[in-house]
């Protein structure tokens, strides 16, 4: 009898332990690459997850590579995403598609940005992977729309917003969230130092901010 | 006695006729080049001036050349401005300084934009020519700051606003005026067709709009 | 006996008629899009093929889309190439990857050009499709290497040459062939009008020249 | 009598000592800015001058500022050149006019490059200052014309060569000299390390090479 009870408990625990975790991949550029490092937003999501006692429910994987644009994601999605059999993928891309126009003449045309973005979604959907979209947060934190790339950043964010709507996908609108935060917390109209260290890459506050935005979506999965 | 009176009248009329007109030069790019043509903003200022019976007070000269950036104005100011001995010069430049970054890789760095702009002002001031500054109106008329060059257009307009303040010069803030007008009259967030024909060059409404803005300043000279 | 002979002849003819043609796809940009039109290089290859009585051996399909860069080919290769089950594919791309850097800030970085190019080859090879590479011919026909994009055109052609060597693939070195032709036929160092109409797109001579280069390779398949 | 002779000798010596030196200004960008520093090409010209016992004949002044393009020279020529009353000016500019197209979208259009270049010459000539032109040496030292900017570098060098011819000015054709040197001394087709440290800025060998080229012209003044 005792043995039976013990066995039952062990089985229940095993079942609990072997419950498949929801595997979440963050698919992006250098921001996500740093996000997987110490103090990065993915590590912070992981910490929040543990703090809420949900470490058995989720598994977080960073798949960010510096300099990536939307078509780079498309090229490496088999090896870096599909092969890992995720349940959910955050697509967090766009900064370099805009920025590289100015720095090396190798940005992405808006129509092609949309085409590749949709192609990534189509492939993920075909495997029943949940897709969550993010707008690119910032290239400069000024609040008066005088960061040089603001026009394009808004235009490309609009493309992502439209894709999210058309595909009925959850959107983490980081661009809007960053602007709202800066309107309250950046009274001197600085171009960096609020949520970013260098106008683009997240500082500690920025990593926590992104982690909060994403965790609030992930925990409802 | 009659002869005396007649002579006096003639003298007064001559004095009136030979009163030096205030010579106003509009110094700029293709927008100003078109502004000197039929239906252009300079022609419209001239018409408004005549309608108000002030044709003896003002003389308007267009000095716009397509594709010009701030340093092109600097290069040709002796021949195209100084040589004509103006009393007042409108500087209306900046679109190509921003736009050509994207279309040919030959825009103007912001620090150099400021340097050349100030150098033009210094030369005009040294000859006691009244200087009036204008911000570049638009590259795209969308009102949600998603025209690709909006960030840079705002940044370069901010430079001009700061120069106006620092030099205590009158500013015709076309960028602000265009945005305000579009916020009221462009409910569909179109990128052209409200004040511009092609996102940059003025349509009839735009030419009249600019004429109004400038004439309200000129008539007070 | 007569019947037997007749039947044999019919069978031979049928065999001849139903021999599968070698299906050749030309995969590229606007040059190839035009190449499929009247007077285009693909039409000319077809004519040469017929003139040599080989129309039963080959079938030629154009798959060119204006503005395409290497990653656009990668994106559409399933629908536009694989679905048509070709035996052989000419990859003729690279002009826009270089050119769009200067005209819209949306060219392709050399390392990514190589990566996508190799990825296309890998997919074609995996289906046992014969792959033939072409270097991009020209952006400007001057022979003294003073066409603005000459440096990059040579650099990207070098990348393609290295890929051809590494993958042991046939290379149609149009860039070299165009330069050699121009060295003989362009004594005035003109930037267009020899093999191109507008520095990039082929005129009649250019279409025939490319047709010759490609047909000499195709007929040996 | 002895006193008289002594006085005469002193006077002659004084005359010799106070003979006006030929003042040579090197007017350019960061290459010239570094050229005025330790080990720089201007310092080396000065050393060669002294070694040949001609220190009383020449005076060398560096007027290079990092990031300068042709129009920056034009803007600062009064303060940095004219004010120093030179007898001779080397114009050594062009790298940034080409390079900044790719790195920040702020290069110089070829027609404007020519216009500003000529304007600088006109101003110097008007003051009877001897003008010596230099072509921009290199952005990359590869010898097969596959340095990304080679086409434009050749095009802008051609502009300078034509200006030299048209204005009958001495030309130091550094671009040709660098290429010739590399063809002999860069068998591995490296992009740096022969005459430049980083594809653009001169290493010790490069500084000495430029010094030799310039000194051979200066000593004949």
From the list C75, C108, C119, the residue facing A106 with the nearest CB is C108
Q: Which of B99, B105, B107, B152 should one mutate to test binding to chain C, selecting the residue with the greatest count of C CBs within 10 A?
A: B105
From the list D72, D101, D115, the residue facing B75 with the nearest CB is D115
Contact A147 B155 (CB under 8 A): yes
Contact D154 C144 (CB under 8 A): yes
Token digits of residue B75: 């290069």
Span D108-131, mean pLDDT?
98
Q: Which has the closest alpha carbon to D21: D113, D86, D107?
A: D86
From the list B101, B105, B150, the residue facing A145 with the nearest CB is B150
Span D156-176, mean pLDDT?
98
**Closest chain C C-alpha to A190 CA, distance in angstroms:** 27
Exposed, middle or buried by CB within 10 Å (0-12, 13-18, 19+), for D153? buried
B17 and chain C in contact, CB less than 8 A: no
Cα dihedral C146, C147, C149, C153, rounded to 10, equals -90
- Residue B17 burial (CB count, 10 A): 8
Cα dihedral D68, D72, D78, D79, rounded to 10, equals -50
Q: Report the pLDDT value the prediction gives residue D1, as an integer from 0 to 100.
A: 58
pLDDT tens figures, B63-111: 999 999 999 999 999 999 999 999 999 999 999 999 999 999 999 999 9
Task: Return residues 18-47 of D near B (CB < 8 Å).
Answer: none
pLDDT over 80 at D43, yes or no: yes
pLDDT tens figures, C84-108: 999 999 999 999 999 999 999 999 9
Task: Return residues 154-173 of A near B (CB < 8 Å).
Answer: 154-155, 157-158
Contact B105 C105 (CB under 8 A): yes
Dist. CA A44–CA D126, nearest whole Å = 68
Q: Which of D76, D105, D107 should one mutate to test binding to chain B, selecting the residue with the greatest count of B CBs within 10 A?
A: D105
**Closest chain C C-alpha to B145 CA, distance in angstroms:** 20
Q: Which of C96, C105, C114 should one mutate to test binding to chain A, selecting the residue with the greatest count of A CBs within 10 A?
A: C105
pLDDT tens figures, D177-192: 999 999 999 999 999 9
B123 and chain D in contact, CB less than 8 A: no
**Closest chain C C-alpha to A191 CA, distance in angstroms:** 23
C186 and chain D in contact, CB less than 8 A: no
**Closest chain A C-alpha to C27 CA, distance in angstroms:** 18
Could you tell me the pLDDT band of residue A14, with boundaries at 50, 70 and 90? low
Q: Report the pLDDT value the prediction gives residue A123, as an integer from 0 to 100.
A: 98
Q: Which of D111, D139, D150 should one mutate to test binding to chain C, selecting the residue with the greatest count of C CBs within 10 A?
A: D150
Q: Report the pLDDT value the prediction gives residue C122, as an integer from 0 to 100.
A: 98
Q: Report the pLDDT value the prediction gives residue C18, as an integer from 0 to 100.
A: 58
From the list C74, C104, C119, the residue facing A109 with the nearest CB is C104
pLDDT over 60 at B14, yes or no: no
Residues from chain D contacting residue B155 (CB–CB below 8 Å): none
A109 and chain B in contact, CB less than 8 A: no
D140 and chain C in contact, CB less than 8 A: yes
Residues from chain D contacting residue B107 (CB–CB below 8 Å): 105-106
pLDDT tens figures, B23-69: 999 999 999 999 999 999 999 999 999 999 999 999 999 999 999 99
Dist. CA A65–CA C114, nearest whole Å = 17
From the list C75, C106, C115, the residue facing A106 with the nearest CB is C106
Dist. CA D79–CA A89, nearest whole Å = 60
Could you tell me the pLDDT band of residue C20, with boundaries at 50, 70 and 90? confident
D183 and chain B in contact, CB less than 8 A: no
Torsion angles phi and psi, residue B163, rounded to 5? -65, -40
| Mean pLDDT over the full length of chain C | 94
Task: Return residues 62-101 of A near C (CB < 8 Å).
Answer: 71-72, 74-75, 100-101
Contact C75 A72 (CB under 8 A): no
- Residue C142 burial (CB count, 10 A): 24
Q: Report the pLDDT value the prediction gives residue D100, as an integer from 0 to 100.
A: 98
Could you tell me the pLDDT band of residue D34, with boundaries at 50, 70 and 90? very high
**Closest chain A C-alpha to D99 CA, distance in angstroms:** 11
Q: Report the pLDDT value the prediction gives residue C70, as an integer from 0 to 100.
A: 98
pLDDT tens figures, B158-180: 999 999 999 999 999 999 999 99
**Closest chain D C-alpha to C125 CA, distance in angstroms:** 29
Dist. CA D113–CA D121, nearest whole Å = 12
Could you tell me the pLDDT band of residue A20, with boundaries at 50, 70 and 90? confident
Dist. CA C27–CA C121, nearest whole Å = 12
Q: Which of C139, C141, C150 should one mutate to test binding to chain D, selecting the residue with the greatest count of D CBs within 10 A?
A: C150
**Closest chain C C-alpha to A101 CA, distance in angstroms:** 4
Q: Report the pLDDT value the prediction gives residue C162, as an integer from 0 to 100.
A: 98
C17 and chain B in contact, CB less than 8 A: no
Token digits of residue D153: 């570098």
User: Which chain A residue shows the shortest CA-CA distance from D107?
Assistant: A102
**Measuring CA to CA, how many Å separate A70 from each of A133, C83, C119?**
12, 25, 16
Q: What is the ipTM of this complex?
A: 0.90
pLDDT over 70 at C23, yes or no: yes
Chains that touch B (3 or more CB pairs under 8 A): A, C, D
First-to-last C-alpha distance (Å) of chain C: 39
pLDDT over 60 at D15, yes or no: no
Residues from chain A contacting residue C71 (CB–CB below 8 Å): 71, 74-75, 112, 116
One DSSP character per residue, chain B reads: -HHHHHHHHHHHHHHHHHSPPEEEEEEESHHHHHHTSTT-HHHHHHHHHHHTT-TTTEEEEEEE-TT--HHHHHHHHHHHTGGG--SEEEEE--HHHHHHHHHHSB---HHHHHHHHHHHHHHHHHTT-EEEEE----SS--SSS-STTHHHHHHHHHHHHHHHHHTT-EEE-HHHHHHHHHHHH-TT--SSSSSBSSSSSB-HHHHHHHHHHHHHHHTT-
How many CB pairs lie under 8 A apart between chains A and C? 48
Q: Report the pLDDT value the prediction gives residue B19, as an integer from 0 to 100.
A: 67
Q: Report the pLDDT value the prediction gives residue D20, as an integer from 0 to 100.
A: 87
Q: Report the pLDDT value the prediction gives residue C4, as an integer from 0 to 100.
A: 66
**Measuring CA to CA, how many Å separate A202 from each of A138, A175, B183, D144?**
10, 13, 33, 42
Chains that touch C (3 or more CB pairs under 8 A): A, B, D
User: Which chain A residue shows the shortest CA-CA distance from C99?
Assistant: A105
Number of H helices, E strands in chain D: 9, 5
Could you tell me the pLDDT band of residue B5, with boundaries at 50, 70 and 90? low
How many CB pairs lie under 8 A apart between chains B and D? 48
Could you tell me the pLDDT band of residue B11, with boundaries at 50, 70 and 90? low
From the list B102, B145, B153, the residue facing A101 with the nearest CB is B102
How many CB pairs lie under 8 A apart between chains C and D? 47
Contact B75 D119 (CB under 8 A): yes
**For a pLDDT cut of 70, what percent of chain C falls above it?**
91
Could you tell me the pLDDT band of residue C9, with boundaries at 50, 70 and 90? low
D105 and chain A in contact, CB less than 8 A: yes
User: Which chain D residue shows the shortest CA-CA distance from C143?
Assistant: D151
pLDDT over 80 at C7, yes or no: no
Contact D151 C146 (CB under 8 A): yes
């Amino acid at each position: 009898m005792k043995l039976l009870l013990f066995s039952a408990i062990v089985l229940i625990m095993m079942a609990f332990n072997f419950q498949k975790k929801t595997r979440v991949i963050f698919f992006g550029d250098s921001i996500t690459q740093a996000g997987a490092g110490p103090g990065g937003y993915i590590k912070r999501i992981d910490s929040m997850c543990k703090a809420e006692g949900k470490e058995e429910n989720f598994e977080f994987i960073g798949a960010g590579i510096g300099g990536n644009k939307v078509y780079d994601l498309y090229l490496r999605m088999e090896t870096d995403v599909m092969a890992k059999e995720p349940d959910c993928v955050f697509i967090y891309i766009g900064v370099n598609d805009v920025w590289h126009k100015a720095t090396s003449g190798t940005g992405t045309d808006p129509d092609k940005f949309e085409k590749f973005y949709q192609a990534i979604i189509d492939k993920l959907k075909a495997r029943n992977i949940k897709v969550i979209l993010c707008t690119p947060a910032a290239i400069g934190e000024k609040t008066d729309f005088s960061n040089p790339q603001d026009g394009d950043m808004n235009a490309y964010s609009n493309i992502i917003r439209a894709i999210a709507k058309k595909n009925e996908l959850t959107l983490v609108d980081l661009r809007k969230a960053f602007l709202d935060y800066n309107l309250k917390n950046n009274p001197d109209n600085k171009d960096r130092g609020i949520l970013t260290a260098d106008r683009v890459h997240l500082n500690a506050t920025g990593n926590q901010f992104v982690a909060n935005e994403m965790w609030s979506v992930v925990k409802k999965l």
